[in-house]
Amino acid sequence: MGKTVVEKILARAAGRGAVTAGDVVEPAADLAMSHENAALVINQFLEIYQGTGLEPRIWDPSKVAIIFDHRVPAESPKTATNQKKVREFVRANGITKFHDIRGDLGGICHQVLPENGYVRPGAVVLGTDSHTTSHGALGAFAFGIGATEMASVWALGIALNVEVPGTIKVIVRGHLRRMVGPKDVILHLVGRLTAEGANFKVLEFHGDTIDAMPTSGRLVLCNMSVEAGATSGIVPADDETLRYLREEAHVEDVLHPVRPDADAVYERMVEIDATALEPQVACPHAVDNVHSIGDVEGTRVHQIVIGSCTNGRLDDLELAAGILRGHKVAEGVRMLVFPASGRIYTQALLKGYIADFVQAGAVVMNPGCGPCLGVHEGALGDGEVALSTTNRNFKGRMGNPKSEVYLCSPAVAAASALTGTISDPRHVMAEIGAAR
């Protein structure tokens, strides 16, 4: 019987000949990632060793990654003290994949991991962040866990009691229209599957649209797979994966891409015709409340956010800067831009995108998670509406339960910044063109 990607990865990582969806395995971790919540992981880790007579020792410090991104630079003495504690722990335990608050090496964990080549095809990646699903874009099995489970992984190097997930095969075919991109594909998919449609399942992406999509776009798909409840999204590694890892992440080791068997057994199949897809918008207060842009055009917005682990990559910034260049953010609208990493920030600076944003009236912030989850800057006022390229719009997500958040692509966000209402970038571009 043929195997899916996740079945093959877990068989290898658990040292078994073959596993099938539903089996319970204990896979070895290839990478164990945390952000500021490492402060809690440390507490739980030390607690495990209480009364054992054993010295607390991380099973393999070279496989642990810690990236500060949620509240950077620290917004409070409490956060700063937790970050200090993590820093000391990192030093004492020889953790090398540590990214502190720095303009060059820092950034959001789901960009820092891939761009530094920490994620490899076929790897088991665990992270104390639900958007760890992102790393499936490189052909890994990557999933979110809580802090206590991470403490267990630090101690044992394996994930205990993992059920091999069933897989939903997602096939995307055809050329995406102009101003329609990976974000529209995943919003559409989450809308179709619903917020729990893939709970406990893996989404495995296939089709010529995916084949032609760069890793940056695949990261968007896998990042938001969790919004349909998926344990992970996976794009089986291919030539593009290898290109990304060699050229952009500068990985030199031998890589072992994992492909599914032609006769792999899937729980179900979902097909998407990319050629028919319009720009998509997720409306308050649910990520699966997805509409084509025509349904919500004209909705007044007060804050535009471009960035995050979902859409803060160079091609996102390039697209948005191209729309904004030479124009002004509408009066009464605040626009925030936060690149996904220091490396991307630098590239955007050198290419002039940052100047485009600032001259248009946007505020460019340091890479981090801040506004997306309402922990650090960019809070909304009562009754205000945000249009954001981030990944969640739950009630209160941006720090105020009396506000509303719509989710969209960078193209829709940039176009809407110019008009002050939710706008179709194709219409805005046509008007700009006519005015020129």
Partner 1 sequence: MSKVVLTLGDDVSTDVIYPGRYMATVLPTETPQFAFADDAEFNAKLTAKHVPPGSVVVAGKNFGCGSSREQAVSTLNGHELMIVAKGFARIFLQNAVNLGLRLVEAPEIEAAEGEELEIAADAVVNTTTGKRFRRLPLPPARAAIVAAGGLIPYTRKRLLEGTRA
Chain residues binding partner 1 by CB under 8 A are: 24, 28-29, 36-37, 39-40, 43-44, 47-52, 54, 59-60, 70-71, 75-76, 78-79, 82, 127-130, 132, 144-149, 151-152, 155-158, 160-163, 195-196, 199-200, 229, 231, 286, 288, 373-375, 392, 394-397, 399, 401
As measured in angstroms, the least distance from the Cβ of 330 to partner 1 is: 28
Q: Which is nearer to partner 1, 51 or 298 (CB)?
A: 51
How many residues are listed for the chain in this entry?
436
Q: Hey, CA dihedral for 93, 96, 97, 103, is it positive or negative?
A: positive
Exposure string of 95-118, with b = 16+ CB inside 10 Å and e = fewer, is bebbbebeeeebbbbbbbbbbbbb
Distance between the two ends of the chain, CA-based, in angstroms?
A: 60
Half-sphere exposure for 373 (CA within 13 Å, toward CB): 12
The angle formed by the CA atoms of residues 117, 388 and 82, to the nearest 5 degrees, is 55
Q: Which is nearer to partner 1, 398 or 417 (CB)?
A: 398
Q: Which is nearer to partner 1, 146 or 361 (CB)?
A: 146
Q: Which is nearer to partner 1, 183 or 392 (CB)?
A: 392
Query: Cα–Cα distances in Å, from 296 out to 214, 287, 289?
Result: 29, 15, 12
Per the CB < 8 A criterion, the answer to whether 10 and 141 are in contact is yes
Q: Which is nearer to partner 1, 41 or 413 (CB)?
A: 41
As measured in angstroms, the least distance from the Cβ of 364 to partner 1 is: 22
Residue 384 three-state SS = coil
Rounded Cα–Cα distance for residues 367 and 365 (Å): 6
Per the CB < 8 A criterion, the answer to whether 281 and 407 are in contact is yes
Question: Of 414, 425, 408, 258, whose CA–CA distance to 328 is shortest?
Answer: 414
Q: Which is nearer to partner 1, 85 or 427 (CB)?
A: 85
As measured in angstroms, the least distance from the Cβ of 365 to partner 1 is: 17
Q: Which is nearer to partner 1, 231 or 341 (CB)?
A: 231
